[in-house]
Amino acid sequence: MSIQLGYLWTCGASAVRMADPVNPGSEMGITHRILFPIFMIIIQINDGGNCDLIEGIEGIYTKKDKAVITRDWESQFKEFKKYKPLTISNRVGPLVMNIMLKMSRAGNFYTPVLYVHNLCREFPCFTMTLRCKAGIVSPEQHNKIYIDEAIKVKNESYIPVNGDITIDTVIEGYERYFKNPIMVSYLDYEDLVLFCGWTGQADKIEYTLKLVYKELKKWPQERFFSQSGGFVNWFQQLEKNAWEGDLLNKIYEAEYKKHKCEKIPEREIILLKGDH
């Protein structure tokens, strides 16, 4: 697709400067030379993906460009839909997965970032947990590399971006994420437990509570849990919340409406007993 788009620009620009050798200056001849190659190339592009072009005026993404790149990324994530400008989303139960094309302040590049928000948490905006990202993409690079960058995001995601998933798949994704101490916050651990609490699967709740206790009791209390009255108090509250499935579901329903999640496509959670 990227090669064809480049050729489209070249052919269009060259044809304008060419003259018909039989009838020099003939407008009909010039028009014929422009339309034939462009028509053939657009047919090929439609077979492979989006045929919209990036303007990239003076190396800056225009308003039109932002709409184009959002559609391009949407085309690579079939189960995601545009949630807002430069963001496409999908939902797995209370977990909203977002891919944000984070635009630089100057508008000269964007960075794709995938992150997850748990609707079982009362919050005014989406939190950014389970983060992963691809490389920087400039207007000159977009058509050439966005498909490869999308593949990177798919491969890096801690939760699969396609198909229905099991609870164990979600747990395993969080456990992989927890191995990166630079990225992880205690909120990520809370989100995992609250997700399992929302499912009502007792064995999953017990497993994740034990996991959280084992991992976080080693963290410095004064740094992470002072506002909660220490680690023990924080954990006891988390444990209480995890077993209150009705309350978690009420929070989920309220947050769902607040964040207008009805336009976000949903995938199913397969409630099967796993190995945990």
Tens-digit pLDDT string for the chain (276 aa): 433 333 333 344 333 334 444 444 444 433 333 333 433 333 233 334 454 666 667 789 999 999 999 999 999 999 999 999 999 999 999 999 999 999 999 999 999 999 999 999 999 889 889 999 999 999 999 999 999 999 999 999 999 999 999 999 999 999 999 998 777 788 899 999 999 999 999 999 999 999 999 999 988 887 888 888 889 999 999 999 999 999 999 999 999 999 999 999 999 998 765 444
Question: Do the Cβ atoms of 112 and 102 come closer than 8 Å?
Answer: yes
CA-CA-CA-CA torsion sign (123, 130, 267, 200):
negative
> What is the per-residue DSSP string for 157-223?
-SS-SSS-EEHHHHHHHHHHHHT-TTT--HHHHHHHHHHHHHHT-HHHHHHHHHHHHHHHTTS-HHH
Count of Cβ atoms closer than 10 Å to residue 140 Cβ: 13
Structure tokens belonging to residue 139: 């207007």
Predicted local distance difference test score (pLDDT) of residue 54: 67
Instruction: For residue range 36-80, list pLDDT tens digits in order.
Output: 343 333 323 333 445 466 666 778 999 999 999 999 999 999 999
The label of the residue with tokens 């391009």 reads 72
Question: Do the Cβ atoms of 61 and 103 come closer than 8 Å?
Answer: yes
Long-range contacts of the stretch 44-49 (C-beta < 8 A, 24+): 44/4, 45/1, 45/4, 45/5, 45/8, 48/1, 48/4, 49/1, 49/75, 49/147
Predicted local distance difference test score (pLDDT) of residue 268: 93
CA distance linking residue 108 with residue 96, whole number of Å = 28
